[in-house]
Amino acid sequence: MQRPIVELSDVSISFAGVKALEGVDFSCHAGTTHGILGENGAGKSTLIKIISGVLKPDYGTIALNGKTVSVSGPAEAADAGIVCMFQELSLIPDLSVADNISLQRPPRRLGLIDKRAQIVRAEKLLSRVRCEDVDPRAMVRDLSLSRRQMIEVAKALGRDPKVLILDEATSALTQRDVETIYGLLDELRDDGVCSLFISHRMHEIDALCDRLSVFRNGHHVETFAKGERSDAEIVRLMIGRDVTAKFPPKPAPRERAPVVQLDDLRWQDRLKGISLTLGRGEILGIGGLDGQGQKELLLALFGVLKGVGGTVTVGENSGLPPSPHAAKTGRNRIALIPEDRKTEGLMLSLSIADNIIAAALDKVSSGAVIDRARLDAAVQDGMDRLRIKAGSTEDAVKTLSGGNQQKVVLAKWLMIAPDVILMNDPTRGIDVGTKQEIFRMMRALADEGKSILFYSSDYAELIGCSDRVIVLYDGQVVSELTGDAITEEAIVAASLNMQGEMA
């Protein structure tokens, strides 16, 4: 085999004392589509950030085309032909499609941007991604999410990649666009481009990649050609042991007294008439592709969204809480574990204690005055209950690992003794051990009679944890699964709204 185009040797990097990558050797070759597998927190995105020059490793070397380089920044990586498409869109909403595509190196004439050449260039690239219907003069703001994602692809192509990194690039796409991307990747492979493909969807990896690398807990476990390992073996490599012990046992399905009842819940064009019942002591999973209204559903129940229509009953109260404060202090207390703990769940530079008590300050104070002794006791109780590992409760919460940070978010909300717990992808980016602890805790809470509404982007979690699963598609419930009917096939089929076609 020829010289690898990117080669990492003995690369290690850690954040706040937590090793994100340790002694990783990794290489990829021109003319391959290389899949990178691993659970959340396995180190995939860190790997990509190192390759694309966003992060600098603590130890180890990086070689591009056989030459050892000290990649000092994204610009240098881009010059070497490494182009990265991140999950988060990097387009600027108030610029036109053509401006965005040529943002890095616009065609110039007399030192000024040549608008006409730019539009021609955009049209050419758009036709490569089969988006001829998009006007290059249109503002990105006015386009749908899936169109924007395809423009992101066009923009990446325009930079003439040698190494193209796709990080969950297909998550928001329609079936047709996904096929377009498949075709493009094949074309690029024939042109000698190396594509690094990260996806949580096994069938995509199966269909596209010719080599696979598995990462686990910051280690590169193994790289092999497609077909050398069975799916079951791959999964075992990813989690390091058999899948079965991962989730606590579920109780038998039974009738439950309803706690939350939604009828025809509507909000803007994101929720289009959602009806559901959440029973006492039940874990109700919400499935579906990202961005089908799951997040909005949880936010609506927590009183974050304004102008939500439909009928809602929570306990004996009817109607939605008007604010998070009302949700937290109502007769049926509601808690929300938000999607992004760094921006929504935690106050990162404040202490662990301040974060744990943030939602329950009124419980440890008389009037407006805080009782120090009660506060310390409550914080310690939260630390013990979730077994949060930290030097001192006065340490800033940002010094903790992702898993312990999420435990702080959970501790904060358990402090108010909630009746209904809304969880938005609570295990994202945390280690396997903590995940299992969280699953056990969810089941214990349900057994205590709490009701849990649980969205996860990981189907295995939905299957392992939920008593019942509803699948959302385009703001509507398209499927409801109970007991043994909760299978990956059924959820995937419902997620793509192609009941019967896929399975």
Which residues contact other proteins by CB under 8 A? Answer: 302, 304, 323-325, 327-329, 336, 338, 343-350, 354, 357-359, 361-362, 365, 368-370, 372, 412, 416
Q: Locate tokens 């903590």: which residue?
A: 434
Closest distance between other proteins and the C-beta of residue 259, in Å? 19
Distance CA 207, CA 457 (A): 21
Q: Where are the alpha helices (DSSP H) in 174-323?
A: 175-190, 202-208, 231-239, 294-301
Phi and psi at 141, nearest 5°, equal -50, -35
Q: How many C-beta neighbours within 10 Å does residue 98 have?
A: 26
Closest distance between other proteins and the C-beta of residue 219, in Å? 28
> Which CB, 359 or 490, lies closer to other proteins?
359
Closest distance between other proteins and the C-beta of residue 365, in Å? 5
User: Which among 457, 405, 429 is positioned nearest to 217, based on CA atoms?
Assistant: 429
Residue pair 212/205 in contact (Cβ under 8 Å)? The answer is yes
Phi and psi at 268, nearest 5°, equal 40, -135
> Which CB, 231 or 344, lies closer to other proteins?
344
For the stretch 235-242, contacts whose Cβ atoms lie closer than 8 Å and that sit 24 or more positions apart, written own/partner, are 237/37, 238/37, 238/38, 238/39, 238/42, 238/214, 239/39, 239/432, 240/216, 240/432
Burial of 116 (0-12, 13-18, 19+ CB in 10 A): exposed
> Which CB, 74 or 324, lies closer to other proteins?
324
Q: How many C-beta neighbours within 10 Å does residue 78 have?
A: 17
Residue pair 451/268 in contact (Cβ under 8 Å)? The answer is no
> Which CB, 78 or 361, lies closer to other proteins?
361
Phi and psi at 350, nearest 5°, equal -85, 165
> Which CB, 68 or 317, lies closer to other proteins?
317
Closest distance between other proteins and the C-beta of residue 419, in Å? 14
Q: How many C-beta neighbours within 10 Å does residue 291 have?
A: 16
Distance CA 391, CA 410 (A): 19
Tokens of 258: 């309803």
User: Which among 371, 432, 360, 382 is positioned nearest to 402, based on CA atoms?
Assistant: 432
> Which CB, 142 or 394, lies closer to other proteins?
394
> Which CB, 263 or 344, lies closer to other proteins?
344
For the stretch 234-241, contacts whose Cβ atoms lie closer than 8 Å and that sit 24 or more positions apart, written own/partner, are 234/37, 234/202, 237/37, 238/37, 238/38, 238/39, 238/42, 238/214, 239/39, 239/432, 240/216, 240/432
Closest distance between other proteins and the C-beta of residue 394, in Å? 9
> Which CB, 140 or 299, lies closer to other proteins?
299
Closest distance between other proteins and the C-beta of residue 206, in Å? 39
Closest distance between other proteins and the C-beta of residue 366, in Å? 10
Closest distance between other proteins and the C-beta of residue 333, in Å? 9
> Which CB, 232 or 347, lies closer to other proteins?
347
Closest distance between other proteins and the C-beta of residue 1, in Å? 44
> Which CB, 137 or 372, lies closer to other proteins?
372
Closest distance between other proteins and the C-beta of residue 409, in Å? 9
